[in-house]
Amino acid sequence: MRRNLAASLFEHGAIRTTPAKAKDVRRFVERLITIARRGTLHARRRVIALLGDRQMVDEENPRELAKQTVIQKLFEDIAPRYADRPGGYTRLIRLPERRIGDGGEQVRALHHLRAGVKARSAPRET
């Protein structure tokens, strides 16, 4: 479960799940990003051992697989964005609507620094 949720988070940038699952996958994802920040062959092999490697689905044509894998996206796109950040790579946002069926609480887990979104500037000192 943890591996699939983490791979989906890396692939799509955000996932929707229960708070307990999100807290569990957050620790796992943060550890993977910390390892991937090194960018070495050993780091790549450790991440593959922990996460596994799977093809991503093409966004334009969902019936076909993309050329990039989850591990490639992690090492080439996601890890370089967090090169200067010591931790706290993911955010959990509570959603107001409940899950249909059992009424369970829902949260949205997403990357703190998503592609194309600039980080907030430091507050001005007066």
CATH architecture designation of domain 2-111: Alpha-Beta Complex (3.90)
Judge whether 32 and 74 are in contact, CB under 8 Å.
yes
- pLDDT at position 113 is 67
Whole-angstrom CA distances from 112 to 13, 14, 44, 45, 49 are: 10, 10, 22, 25, 25
Domain ranges in the chain are: 2-111
**pLDDT value for 105:** 92
Number of H helices, E strands in the chain: 5, 5
For the purposes of burial, counting CB atoms within 10 Å of the CB of 26, is it exposed (0-12), middle (13-18) or buried (19 or more)? buried
Overall pTM > 0.85: no
Per 3-state DSSP, the chain is made up of helix, strand and coil in percentages (nearest 5) of 40, 20, 40
Residue 49 CA to residue 111 CA, distance in Å, equals 22
Distance of alpha carbon 31 from alpha carbon 107, whole angstroms: 20
pLDDT single digits (tens) 7-47? 989 888 899 999 999 999 999 999 999 999 999 999 999 99
What pLDDT is recorded for position 54?
Answer: 81
Q: How far apart are the C-alpha atoms of 115 and 112, rounded to whole Å?
A: 10
**Residues in CB range of 42: below 8 A, 6 or more apart:** none
